[in-house]
Homo-oligomer: A and B are copies of this chain.
Amino acid sequence: MSMINGFSAADAERLSAHERSLIERRERLLGPAYRLFYERPLHTVRGEGVWLFDDQGRRYLDAYNNVASVGHCHPRVVSAISRQAAQLNTHTRYLQEGILDYAEQLLGTFPDYLERVMFTCTGSEANDLALRIARHHTGGTGVIITRFAYHGVTGDLAELSPSLGAGIRLPAHARTVLAPDAYRLGADQVAATLAADVRAAIDDLRAQGIRPAALLLDGIFSSDGVFPGPAGFLAEAVALAQAEGLLYIADEVQSGFARTGDAFWGFERHGVRPDLVTLGKPMGNGQPIAGLVGRAEVVDGFGRNLRYFNTFGGNPVSCAAGQAVLDVIRDEELQARARETGRYLLQGLGRLQQRHALIGDVRGAGLFLGVELVKDRASQAPAAAETRRVVNAMRERGVLISAAGPLENILKIRPLLAFEREHADLLLETLDAALDEVGAP
């Protein structure tokens, strides 16, 4: 949920009259909640594969958006949407085969013990529903999250998303734990620190008379700063929470659908068994589809006692898009490609680290990578302004990335799964040049 907002008078001068008029119309029609990426906003008009094109026909390598994950306007997804939209698009109170075929295929990507799926339209709705289910199941309200978490924009989730900014006040039923930051804590300390923090959070909730309901964790701690490893660091904390009766909700909205390479789902890298898993962003390659998967006992208890109907959730067009995405990931072997290209990128970033003192740490799993920029490696002082300049320099050079972390000093690199080695090379060369431009700290 990190963003690079605002632009200076100097930037405004570089905008065309048309771009300025678009920005004025945005402000007049949509208001100030709508913020733009980059100091010089990008006017997108077309997408194809790993590329976005602006109104001047310039192309940009998309190394950030994990919605159009199998490639912008992938022909199989477009075709599935077009065909189904012309045939039938209605709700789930009638019998339909498409949703069942898709549900079966989707559940097939999970461990067998996760037997049920429910469909929503957004990751926010999925996390919101997961929270309702966890509270129903446990009878508790308490939720444990990481300190700079992002889980969604509904009322209940925004207050569990400190990364949304200073306007967010943590509710009485929430406790935060340190994100598993191997760079600062040391790789050998991450698991024990997380477990101890979760232990303390549970104890503190109980001491305040609040029954804990859920441990809610992003599959790769994206907004906290991208923390993929060491793989397995979740196991102790999750086991502890589950032993204490909490449900573990794995938020895979960002890390799911083959992105982390080694596994189809981010949690699998840690050898843990979530009670509920929430899905979103890349699920329909742009079509608004999301949902959750869970243990039958947990999902059914809620479903028997409380009605839940999501008008557009699981509609035939969204399911057709979701099905096409799964088919493409399988047929184009995108999980293996995410693993291989991710490894290649990580090695390349390691070489850049040797050349650029600004890089304090490189890390990643598959095609979800973080590059932490620091003022110097000894103090690990965050280089926030430099990160911002690198992101914008990359954009000027035609490569799209963003920044993450409480201080936005971590380059967030999240290429489309369709990335090839040549795209990785272009990304690395461009980052090298951008770092040269921004200079040593």
Residues of chain A whose beta carbon lies under 8 Å from any beta carbon of chain B: 1, 3, 19, 22-23, 25-26, 28-37, 41-47, 52, 65, 67-68, 72-73, 75, 77-78, 81-82, 85-97, 99-100, 103-104, 107, 115-118, 120-125, 128-129, 131-132, 153-156, 158, 164-165, 167-168, 280-281, 285-289, 296, 299-300, 302-315, 317-318
Contacts and interface: CB of A to CB of B under 8 A. Distances in A.
Given A85-B82, A158-B132, A307-B165, A22 B302 contact: no
Nearest to A303: B33
Contact of A73 (B46, B85, B129, B303): B85
A30 B118 contact: yes
B94 A44 contact: yes
Nearest to A4: B93
A95 B312 contact: no
A390 to B, nearest CB: 18
B303 A31 contact: yes
10 contacts: A19-B95, A29-B104, A31-B296, A33-B308, A36-B95, A45-B88, A65-B90, A78-B82, A89-B286, A128-B154
Given A122-B312, A306-B164, A309-B153, A286 B95 contact: no
A155 B154 contact: yes
Contacts of A304: 32
A37 B94 contact: yes
B104 A23 contact: no
Given A93-B36, A96-B43, A85 B286 contact: yes
B93 A37 contact: yes
Contacts of A313: 122
Nearest to A280: B311
A116 B37 contact: no
Given A41-B95, A121-B125, A168-B306, 10 more contacts: A30-B314, A32-B303, A33-B308, A46-B87, A67-B312, A77-B85, A78-B86, A89-B286, A89-B287, A167-B306
A317 B286 contact: yes
Given A95-B41, A315-B288, A90 B47 contact: yes
A15 to B, nearest CB: 10
Nearest to A298: B31
Contacts of A89: 47, 68, 72-73, 285-287
A52 B121 contact: no
A114 to B, nearest CB: 11
A165 B299 CA distance: 18
A167 B82 contact: no
A186 to B, nearest CB: 32
A350 to B, nearest CB: 30
Q: Most B CB atoms within 10 A — which of A92, A121, A302? A: A121
A125 B103 contact: no
Contact of A87 (B67, B73, B118): B73
Contacts of A296: 31
A32 B34 CA distance: 38
A52 B302 contact: no
Contacts of A302: 33
B288 A116 contact: no
A118 B33 contact: yes
A42 B94 contact: yes
Contacts of A286: 85, 89-90, 312, 315, 317
Contacts of A128: 154-155
A350 B363 CA distance: 71
Contact of A167 (B78, B120, B167, B305): B305
A312 B121 contact: yes
Contacts of A1: 307, 309
Contacts of A120: 122
A37 B23 CA distance: 46
